[in-house]
C-alpha cells in the first residue's frame, strides 16, 4: 500500500467503507486541500470518530485516492464534507462517484436534505444539487460561527443542497432551500 499522501497507482477504483487503520490516510488526503481553503482541516481522531460517515475510493493497490463524509446536523439535515480526490486520480469521475455515495448514505439514513459548501459549482450542480445559501441552514451557521466565520461567509455564496429523503426519490430541492 502506498504511504498516505503519496501518488496513487492507476487502475480501477473501488468505493467502500473505511476501516479504523485508514483514518490517518483519510485525514492526510483531506488536509492536502485545507491550505487552499478547499476543505476544512481534519485530524485522524476526528475522522475515526466519524468513520461510519465516510466513504472512500481505493485504487487497485488499496491506496485511498478519494473520500467524502456525511456530517449530521439533525435527523433531517446533513452536510457533505471532506470531499477530496488525490490530484493524480482527478479527472476520472471520482468526485461524482463520491457525491453519489454520500447521497446514497444520506438517503439510507433518512435525511431529508443534504447540503454542501463548495467552490465546485459545476460538480455539485451536475449531481442534482441546487444553489442556495447557508442562511437556510441555521444549524450550520451556529456550528461554524465560532469555528470558521469565513466558512459561513463562503456558504452564503457557495452552498448547494439536494433533497434526498424518502419523500423525494427524484432528488428535488425543497422550496425552503432554493436560492433567493
User: How confident is the model at residue 87, as a pLDDT?
Assistant: 96
CA 36, CA 38: separation in Å to the nearest integer? 6
For residues 14 and 30, what is the distance between their CA atoms, to the nearest angstrom?
A: 18
Whole-model pTM over 0.95: no
- The grid coordinates listed for 72 are 449530521
Instruction: Express each pLDDT in 57-83 by its tens digit.
Output: 999 999 999 999 999 999 999 999 999
CATH class of 14-177: alpha beta
Predicted confidence (pLDDT) per residue in 98-155, tens digit: 999 999 999 999 999 999 999 999 999 999 999 999 889 998 888 877 776 777 777 7
pLDDT of residue 166: 66
Side-by-side strand order, sheet with 54-58 = 14-16, 54-58, 64-74, 77-85, 113-117, 159-163, 130-132
Burial of 11 (0-12, 13-18, 19+ CB in 10 A): exposed
pLDDT in tens, 6-23: 444 445 899 999 999 999
The residue length of the chain stands at 180
Amino acid at each position: 500500500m502506498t504511504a498516505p499522501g503519496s501518488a496513487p497507482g492507476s487502475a480501477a477504483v473501488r468505493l467502500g467503507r473505511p476501516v479504523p487503520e485508514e483514518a490517518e490516510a483519510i485525514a492526510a488526503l483531506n488536509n492536502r486541500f485545507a491550505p487552499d481553503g478547499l476543505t476544512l482541516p481534519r485530524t485522524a481522531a476526528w475522522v475515526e470518530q466519524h468513520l461510519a460517515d465516510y466513504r472512500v475510493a481505493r485504487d487497485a493497490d488499496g491506496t485511498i485516492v478519494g473520500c467524502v463524509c456525511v456530517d449530521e446536523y439533525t435527523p433531517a439535515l446533513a452536510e457533505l464534507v471532506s470531499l477530496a480526490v488525490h490530484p493524480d486520480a482527478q479527472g476520472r469521475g471520482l468526485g461524482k462517484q463520491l457525491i453519489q455515495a454520500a447521497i446514497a448514505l444520506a438517503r439510507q439514513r433518512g435525511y431529508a436534505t443534504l447540503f454542501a459548501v463548495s467552490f465546485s459549482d459545476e460538480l455539485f450542480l451536475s449531481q442534482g444539487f441546487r444553489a442556495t445559501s447557508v442562511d437556510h441552514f441555521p444549524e450550520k451557521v451556529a456550528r461554524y460561527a465560532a469555528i470558521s466565520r469565513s466558512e459561513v461567509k463562503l456558504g452564503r455564496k457557495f452552498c448547494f443542497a439536494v433533497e434526498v429523503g424518502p419523500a423525494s426519490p427524484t432528488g428535488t430541492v425543497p422550496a425552503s432551500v432554493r436560492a433567493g
